[in-house]
Amino acid sequence: MSEQTSGDPLFQDQDPVFARKELLHVGHVPDEDRIVGRDDEIQSVANEVGAVVRGDPPNNVMIYGKTGTGKSLISRHVATRAQRAAESNDIDCTVLYIDCSEANTETRATRQLALDLKEKTDYEAEIPLRGVGTMEYYQHIWAVLDAAYDAAIVILDEIDKLDNSNILMQLSRAREARKTNTYIGVIGISNKVQYKESLDERIDSSFGHRELFFHPYDAAQLREIMRNRQDAFQPDVLADGTIELCAALAAKKHGDARKAIEILKEAGELARRNDVTEVTEEHIKQAQEVAEVNRIEELTSGATVHAKLALYALASRIITGERDTYKTREVYQRYVGVCEMAALDPVTENGLYRQLKEQAFLGVIESEKTGGGRSQGSYLLHRLVTDPKHIVKAVRRDASLDELPTYETLVNYGGNQTNDTDLSSFVE
Ligand SMILES: Nc1ncnc2c1ncn2[C@@H]1O[C@H](COP(=O)(O)OP(=O)(O)OP(=O)(O)O)[C@@H](O)[C@H]1O
Ligand SMILES: [Mg+2]
């Protein structure tokens, strides 16, 4: 089976559903003419780095926004265009891109910058891979920049993963400190808005920078993004209304373009697995469910087993009970029963409360303070941000928890006996 279809028509009709599936791959970088719905953001980033085109110093800029809002894509796109425009004005400009989730220390990041620069130029000095500190890498960076470039745009993607922010200071002060004559502009990217506060505390004014916020896509924008890639499918495979439905579902949930494209791809795969050559609204709905479970699993994958049990406890109470919010105490009662089923020792109620708070932080649950009459004291009510079904599925994907009751069993259980708190009378 050809997973990797090519643009060559000779191989296209081997796959009855997809024509150019690569357009839907996660890592795929779309051509310029497939970028839609971000004109204002493109212009804003261009305003910050665009001075390089005239041979002037660019501004530094931090881009914040939730996942899948086009931050990485737009940054690379604008930086590359600025580089091209500069070159046509006889200005030597380069774009350097660092994924700080991989190069997550100052040493790794500077080493990669030095190596990338060496590769782009005819710099001859040897760059050691280990055994040297950041200072040596900086020296190579300044040397190559001076020798080869008037300007450089450095994109530090997922900058919150970097262990310290010294690199920001080094890059922004380099010219002033006479380390290099090259103008350097930094584009920092983060999907953690908390990073903004921590950055403000850690760095001083030498990293003068603007801030841009990318908002989630609305349904109309997601529709355009997907329409622009519908040639990933064979003609007439997408039934009327499928892209619209996919966009509406994705906009309602998160406005994440990456997820919307993934849903479309998954829907195509479902159709193919079912041996049909039409992707229907039903495929989209099923694909959306799979995507949502994946999303929850991603969000909780780093969580401890007790955090997962806490989530499962809340989700299962919602499924078997009649409310959609529960107090910490009520979640705890169910949690203890769930631990018993999983043959694990429960943490204390206070420990569970901390787990729940952590989940609230991840955006999986919302907790709200209620009550608080003088004699009663206040308490927290927890609700799930997503369908409890998805939580149950995602938690059960953990191999050590796959014995817990399935969603379907919980639904039946709820119909038979309400008000039971600990599931203990329940045997699958
Ligand atoms: N405006 C757009 N037009 C076309 N495709 C887009 C657009 N925005 C995003 N995409 C697609 O969605 C994917 C996700 O976008 P991108 O990687 O830029 O998001 P991000 O904001 O950097 O997310 P994260 O914070 O998770 O890194 C991209 O690979 C791209 O294919
Ligand atoms: Mg990104």
Residue nearest to ligand 1 atom 17, measured at CA: 72
Which secondary structure element, helix H or strand E, spans residue 395, and what is its range? helix 388-396
Tokens of 223: 């529709």
Return the residue whose CA atom lies nearest to atom 25 of ligand 1.
67
Under CATH, what is the fold of the domain 302-416? Arc Repressor Mutant, subunit A (1.10.10)
User: What are the residue ranges spanned by the domains of the chain?
Assistant: 38-214, 217-299, 302-416
The 10 Å CB-count burial string (b at 16+, else e) for 115-138 is ebbbeeeebeeebeeeebebebbb
| Closest ligand to residue 261's CA | 1
Predicted confidence at residue 106, as pLDDT, reads: 96
Nearest to 152 by CA among 85, 62, 92: 92
CA of 158 to the centre of ligand 2 (A): 7
Bridge partners (DSSP) listed for residue 369: 380
Q: Which one of 45, 72, 102 would you pick to mutate in the ligand 1 pocket, going by the greatest count of ligand atoms within 8 A of its CB?
A: 72
Q: Which ligand is nearest to the CA of 258?
A: 1
Q: Ligand 1 pocket, 191 CB below 6 A?
A: yes
β-pairing verdict for 365-371 and 151-157: unpaired
pLDDT, position 369: 83
DSSP class per residue in 16-52:
SSBS-GGGGSTT----GGG--S-HHHHHHHHHHHGGG
Counting ligands in written order, which one lies closest to the CA of residue 262? 1
Question: Does the CB atom of residue 38 touch ligand 1 within 6 A?
Answer: yes
Query: pLDDT tens per residue, the chain (428 residues)?
Result: 444 545 677 765 578 899 999 999 877 778 887 898 899 999 999 999 999 999 999 999 999 999 899 999 999 999 999 999 999 999 999 999 999 999 999 999 999 999 999 999 999 999 999 999 999 999 999 999 999 999 999 999 999 999 888 999 999 999 989 999 999 999 999 988 778 888 877 776 778 889 999 999 999 999 999 999 999 999 999 999 999 999 999 998 889 999 999 999 999 999 999 999 999 999 999 999 988 888 888 888 878 899 899 999 999 999 998 899 999 999 999 999 999 999 999 999 999 988 888 767 677 888 888 876 656 677 888 999 889 999 999 999 998 999 999 999 998 876 555 445 556 555 44
Ligand 1 centre distance from Cα of residue 356 (Å) = 30
CA distance 171 to 141: 10
- List, in sequence order, the alpha helices (H) in 18-68: 39-49
Q: Which ligand is nearest to the CA of 263?
A: 1
H helices of 12-63, where? 39-49
Please give the Cα distance from 332 to 422 (Å, whole number): 9
Helix (H) or strand (E) holding 64: strand 60-65
Whether the Cβ atoms of residue 288 and residue 294 lie closer than 8 Å to each other:
no
**Ligand 1 binding pocket mutation candidate from 35, 36, 73, 214 (most atoms within 8 A of CB):** 73
Structure confidence at residue 304 (pLDDT): 85
Give the whole-angstrom CA distance, residue 99 versus residue 159. 8
Max distance between CA atoms of the chain, in angstroms, equals: 78
pLDDT of residue 7: 67
Q: Is the CB of 221 under 6 A from ligand 1?
A: no
Which listed ligand is nearest to 232 at the C-alpha? 1
Any bridge partners for residue 151, and if so which?
93, 183
Joined tokens for residue 197? 């506060």
- Is 68 near ligand 1, meaning CB less than 6 Å away? yes
Judged on CB neighbours under 10 Å (0-12, 13-18, 19+), 3 is exposed
CA of 276 to the centre of ligand 1 (A): 30
Instruction: Name the 3-class secondary structure at 11.
Output: helix
pLDDT at 295: 83
Say yes or no: CB of residue 91 within 6 Å of ligand 1: no
Q: Phi and psi of 425, rounded to 5°? A: -75, 0
Residue 323's Cβ-count burial label (10 Å; 0-12, 13-18, 19+) is exposed
Find the 338 Cα to ligand 2 centroid distance in Å. Answer: 37
CA 151/CA 169 separation, integer angstroms: 17
Query: CA 222, 225, 230, 236 torsion: positive or negative?
Result: positive
- Alpha carbons 195 and 201: distance in angstroms, whole number: 10
Q: Which two tokens stand for residue 350?
A: 């206070």
Q: Is the CB of 70 under 6 A from ligand 1?
A: yes
Q: State both tokens at 240.
A: 């009327």
Q: Is 36 a pocket residue for ligand 1 (Cβ < 6 Å)?
A: yes
Pocket test for ligand 1, best of 258, 265, 299 (most atoms within 8 A of CB): 258
Burial class (CB in 10 A: 0-12, 13-18, 19+), 397: middle
Tell whether ligand 1 has an atom less than 6 A from the beta carbon of residue 192.
no
Q: What is the DSSP string of 95-142?
A: EEEEETTTS-SHHHHHHHHHHHHHHHS---S---SSS--HHHHHHHHH
Answer whether 71 contacts ligand 1 (Cβ < 6 A).
yes
Structure tokens at 125: 């000095």
> What does each C-alpha distance from 331 to 89, 276, 284 come to in angstroms?
65, 44, 33
- Per-residue CA distances from 66 to 157, 193, 256 (Å): 13, 8, 8
Separation between Cα atoms, residue 339 and residue 123, nearest integer Å:
60
Q: Which ligand is nearest to the CA of 70?
A: 1
70 Cα nearest atom in ligand 1:
18
Distance between CA atoms of residues 242 and 146, nearest Å: 53
Q: Please tell me the predicted confidence (pLDDT) of residue 29.
A: 79
CB 75 near ligand 1, within 6 Å: no
> Domain spanning 217-299 has what CATH number?
1.10.8.60
38-214 is a CATH 3.40.50.300 domain: yes
State the pTM of this model. 0.79
Please check whether residue 251 is in contact with residue 218, taking contact to mean a CB–CB distance below 8 angstroms: yes
C-beta 257 within 6 A of ligand 1: yes
Q: Is the CB of 35 under 6 A from ligand 1?
A: yes
